[in-house]
Structure 1
Amino acid sequence: MSNQENNSPKPPKNYVTTRRLTEQELFHRASELLEDKLARGQAFCNPNTVKDFLRFKLAHSEREVFAVMLLDSQHQLIEFRELFYGTINAAPVYPREIIKAVVETNAAAVIFAHNHPSGVAEPSDADKRVTDRLKTALDTIDVQTLDHIVVGKDTVSFAERGLL
């Protein structure tokens, strides 16, 4: 067997369902598959992987959802947690609950995410203020804030825009 044959990628897995799935169910299943794949050792170092994962998780919610990706010191996913739920244009965010989740999981880094049900992913002034508050709170316990992703029709990364 040649070296090339040994390094060839595995064929993609096939998935079968016994019933029709709604769009919401399909996106939920896709996010579970991606989460499972990433939880088994791949670090969340690629911004596009993070954006795809969060788009599957949050893009189709009809109300605002604020979530956190809790990561270990190698930036591998420990847990994805939806923490706060709001209305069509706002969700309350409490730093105390974020810190509690970080301590419970022994996370070394986080990525924040929330959706804009309007579809417009542009961060608001309130989004920027809450990110600053959360980053300051986590800095006091030596936990890295890697990014805050806003999900709409597109995704916006605070880190890519230099907002962190």
Structure 2
Amino acid sequence: MHKEQVFTYHSNQEVLDAAIDIIQERFKRTAIFTNVDDTKIFLACKMANYSREVFSVLLLDSQHQLLEYKELFFGTIDSASVYPREIAKAALESNAVAVILAHNHPSGIAEPSQADIAITEKIRRALSLIDIRTLDHIIVGKSQTSLAERGYL
């Protein structure tokens, strides 16, 4: 006989956090990250409600299945310092073959800035030296923008 777990939540945020954990577990080790629309949905669930900029990375295996989702850098309401070395370190530690970069814009406007485009290229170049592909950089706001779809990768 299957016994259901009973959870007690004290806030709406705890409910949302639990739902995000369930979504992340279901996305792990599936080929979902070959589809940009599904990737945008996953990242929106993870990042849309932050009040400050957060820069994360999806670490992927050779089949583009999720090895790990990591939030690496935390900033202010309109910027975050990002270090390619730390992204490379996380990718090597997880034995990732490819990555998808992501960050949120707390303003809700998901248009890439020149700084977003420049850091994406800097990270792409750094990771390519160690044979790790940068597949995309998705900006999360009220909608989501893929830099690969825009031709920046």
How high is the TM-score relative to the length of structure 2? Answer: 0.92
User: Which amino acid in 2 is paired with 1:19?
Assistant: Y
| In structure 2, distance between residues paired with 1:33 and 1:97 | 27
Q: Secondary structure at the match of 2:106?
A: coil
Is residue 31–residue 63 contact of structure 2 (8 Å, CA) maintained in 1? Answer: no
- Aligned positions, number: 150
Deviations 1:55-91 (A, max 9, x none): 0111101100000000000000000000000000000
Is residue 108–residue 143 contact of structure 2 (8 Å, CA) maintained in 1? Answer: yes
Aligned with 1:32 (options 21, 25, 41): 21
Larger-gyration structure (1/2): 1
What stretches of structure 2 of length at least 5 have no aligned partner?
Answer: none
Match of 1:117 in 2: 106
Decide which moves more: 26-35 or 66-75: 26-35
Q: 1:117-156 residue pairs with structure 2 within 5 A?
A: 117-156=106-145
Shift of 1:15: 8.2
Is residue 28–residue 56 contact of structure 1 (8 Å, CA) maintained in 2? Answer: no
In angstroms, what is the RMSD of aligned CA positions? 1.6
Task: Tell whether 2:131 aligns with 1:103.
Answer: no
| In structure 2, distance between residues paired with 1:19 and 1:119 | 28
| In structure 2, distance between residues paired with 1:50 and 1:85 | 21
Identity %: 53
Give the 4+ runs in structure 1 shifted more than 6 A. none
Match of 1:88 in 2: 77
